Structure 1
């Protein structure tokens, strides 16, 4: 029987070095190709998911959201404008200050809405009353995300200029000013034209509010906005005097 060749220490080290090189090459391939591809795929998937769950078509999977969508299509923010531009539901009803806050609010809002839809047969919201809580559901960061140049914008309407100047002055004072504290303080019906009528027509449990119905077009009534701004500026002095 022929003697087996002896493996020298140098040969052993060479094999180990070769295996290490292969492993290192595999790690580099994973880091340079697989990981970026996985991140890109996850990002595109997230973007697609966010897009697919942001419009009225998705939101109206819940029966209770149908009148909101109907009123939205009638408004300028819903496409009733010369350019046909549409603000999606999440453009207004989610914060846009940063991505993390946006995604967190999207998740928590979705869970809250799912729960509300589940218990709807035994607990029906006061739809008309909730209109007065609009500031809790509409985010100024969303408004300013689209109207990014509003503070520098010029207009021939002095009432609009006064209202917007008062709003930004109040924002600069961190809420301690005398102007409106949110966009919907003045623009009560923005994004949903004639919403109260739509709610009354859709829900049996919503009482008729004929004396409170919102005339069509009030969504964009600048004189009404100026009036609300004036009332907002007057509140601090009224509180002080009382």
Structure 2
């Protein structure tokens, strides 16, 4: 009887008229509106992850996209291509939303033409690159690891210096992908004063010699 009375009470509550509509209709309407909003929100967010959207502004199409096209991330023997969001947007939904909120300030830069010319872009290339390197360093190169996994790497197929660096990173956990793979998809800025880069460059130069 208690359950029956509870169900009856809820039914009366939902059937109780509001000023113009019953509470049940309002609840159902709110539920449907929530679904539509959620679906629209996710659709819009996923659209902003597409390459079409990323290069729709002149600044991105002019520089980063053109620099990506000659690289192995764009064209390779397997035909698996990384798009902008694969490297610059986390795949996990929570972190993806946070990244979108952080990137919203880029709209401000677009409105005021912060990097809308070749000269402006080159002047800020180092700043833009370091900001992205720091983000990847902080999350242990998460976007890289979404596709590349040490467990599935055949070290015997790698060049000696790459095999050594990957084995060392796997053993110590001190380095992450972006520490060595700066400039893999876009042209490097002036690296003067970047000691870690200079050390790696000297190491590779000595090994090649």
Pair in the same fold by TM > 0.5:
yes
Structure 1 residues 131, 151: CA separation in 2 closer, same or farther (over 3 Å shift)? farther
Corresponding residue of 2:161: 159
Q: What secondary structure is seen at the aligned counterpart in 1 of 2:146?
A: helix
Larger Rg: 1
Q: CA deviation at 1:170?
A: 4.3
Corresponding residue of 2:42: 47
Query: How many residues are paired up?
Result: 173
Contact 1:55 1:90 in 2 (8 A): yes
Deviation per residue, 1:104-129 (Å, 9 max, x gap): 111221x2211222333699352442
Out of 133, 136, 156, the position equivalent to 1:135 is: 133
Unaligned runs of 5+ in 1: 1-15, 172-176, 200-208, 213-224, 232-242
Q: Give, in whole Å, the separation in 1 of the partners of 2:96 and 2:151.
A: 23
Q: CA deviation at 1:143?
A: 0.9
- 2:195 paired with 1:228: no
Q: Give, in whole Å, the separation in 2 of the partners of 1:22 and 1:106.
A: 39
Q: Give, in whole Å, the separation in 2 of the partners of 1:47 and 1:230.
A: 47
Structure 1 residues 44, 191: CA separation in 2 closer, same or farther (over 3 Å shift)? farther
TM-score when normalising by structure 1: 0.55
Structure 1 residues 76, 84: CA separation in 2 closer, same or farther (over 3 Å shift)? same
Corresponding residue of 1:114: 107
- What is the Cα-based RMSD across aligned positions, in Å? 4.1
Alignment of 1:50-89 (within 5 A): 50-66=45-61, 67-78=63-74, 80-89=75-84
Structure 1 residues 230, 146: CA separation in 2 closer, same or farther (over 3 Å shift)? farther
Corresponding residue of 2:182: 188
Structure 1 residues 161, 44: CA separation in 2 closer, same or farther (over 3 Å shift)? farther
Contact 2:133 2:178 in 1 (8 A): yes
Deviation per residue, 1:84-137 (Å, 9 max, x gap): 2222212211234x422221111221x221122233369935244237514135
Q: CA deviation at 1:152?
A: 4.4
Corresponding residue of 1:202: none
